[in-house]
């Protein structure tokens, strides 16, 4: 499902042309601005694709606006590789939790409030998929930009630079935020907009518990390696994403080993 052009009153999606089994329809780049603002914020410029970056620049600068800020939800290349190119086109600084991905800016930390383009974006620390993952609360639209922490379709993987314990805590915190902030929509880094944040997060939490139970059962039945567990638990996995399934299995094994250490 292509969600190009969709979003909220203040956030518009521009879909990058990088579809794959891992990126779904492609990376969702978000252009954020209060109606009538003279500037815009770009979240996750996406891959280093000249055509996409030009399109993002043109959308962000429509009506004479300027790009005030480029924000990364995390440093994986499908979200961040285009940041330097967009910064060069627009002169905007790039902010990210990981210093390696910042350009012309100071640090970004959970709890920070980014004020730009007539909007406030509150930084929510959401480690798990990766150690440097953040989400962005756009309170005026009751919207949360989730990067890869919550996807528009399916569930996310725990990458080699992530941790399941962190991710489980993140999901619990986001579920609480859905209630306290009155969230009305999740704007993911891949896939369609999600209009039922609480329901989606309940599903994610239940799914993770079910997967842990399945892995415990596979271990009890004699599975010993991540590959064995993928065969037992993820038997219908597309071969194109088998390596990602093994990343998640390793993360779950690390988590279970930590519980018994």
pLDDT at site 5:
74
Specify the pLDDT at position 261: 55
Q: What is the CATH number of the domain that holds 38?
A: 3.60.15.10
Helical spans, DSSP H, in the chain = 50-60, 77-80, 83-90, 164-180, 197-220, 226-233, 242-260
Residues 81 and 88: their CA atoms lie apart, in Å, by 13
The number of distinct structural domains making up the chain is 1
Residue 171 lies in a domain: yes
Give the pTM: 0.94
CB-neighbour burial class of residue 228 (10 A; exposed 0-12, middle 13-18, buried 19+): middle
What pLDDT score does 124 carry? 98
pLDDT of residue 137: 98
The mean pLDDT values, 10 residues at a time, for the chain of 261 residues are: 78 97 95 97 98 98 97 98 98 97 91 97 98 98 98 92 96 98 98 97 97 94 91 82 87 88 55
Domain that holds residue 176: 11-198
Nearest CA among 163, 164, 165, 134 for reference residue 148 = 134
DSSP code for 9 = S
Asked, for residue 122, whether it belongs to a domain, the answer is: yes
| 172 located within any domain | yes
In a domain, 234, yes or no: no
- Rounded to whole angstroms, the Cα distance separating 100 from 223 reads 39
């Amino acid at each position: 499902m292509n969600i190009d052009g969709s979003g909220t009153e203040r956030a518009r999606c521009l879909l990058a042309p990088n579809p794959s089994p891992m990126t779904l329809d492609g990376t969702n780049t978000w252009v954020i601005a209060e109606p009538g603002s003279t500037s815009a914020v770009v979240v996750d410029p996406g891959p280093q694709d000249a055509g996409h970056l030009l399109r993002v620049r043109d959308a962000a600068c429509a009506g004479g606006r300027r790009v005030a800020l480029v924000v990364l939800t995390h440093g994986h290349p499908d979200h961040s590789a285009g940041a330097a190119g967009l910064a060069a086109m627009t002169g905007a600084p790039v902010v990210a939790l990981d210093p390696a991905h910042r350009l012309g800016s100071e640090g970004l930390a959970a709890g920070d409030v980014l004020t730009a383009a007539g909007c406030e974006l509150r930084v929510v620390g959401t480690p798990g998929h990766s150690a440097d993952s953040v989400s962005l609360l756009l309170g005026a639209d009751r919207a949360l930009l989730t990067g890869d922490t919550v996807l528009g379709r399916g569930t996310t993987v725990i990458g080699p630079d992530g941790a399941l314990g962190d991710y489980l805590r993140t999901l619990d915190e986001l579920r609480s935020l859905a209630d306290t902030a009155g969230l009305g929509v999740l704007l993911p880094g891949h896939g369609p907009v999600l209009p039922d944040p609480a329901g989606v997060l309940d599903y994610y939490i239940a799914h993770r518990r079910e997967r842990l139970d399945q892995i415990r059962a596979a271990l009890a039945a004699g599975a010993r390696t991540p590959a064995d567990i993928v065969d037992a638990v993820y038997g219908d996995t597309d071969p194109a994403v088998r390596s990602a399934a093994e990343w998640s299995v390793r993360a779950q094994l690390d988590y279970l080993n930590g519980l018994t250490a």
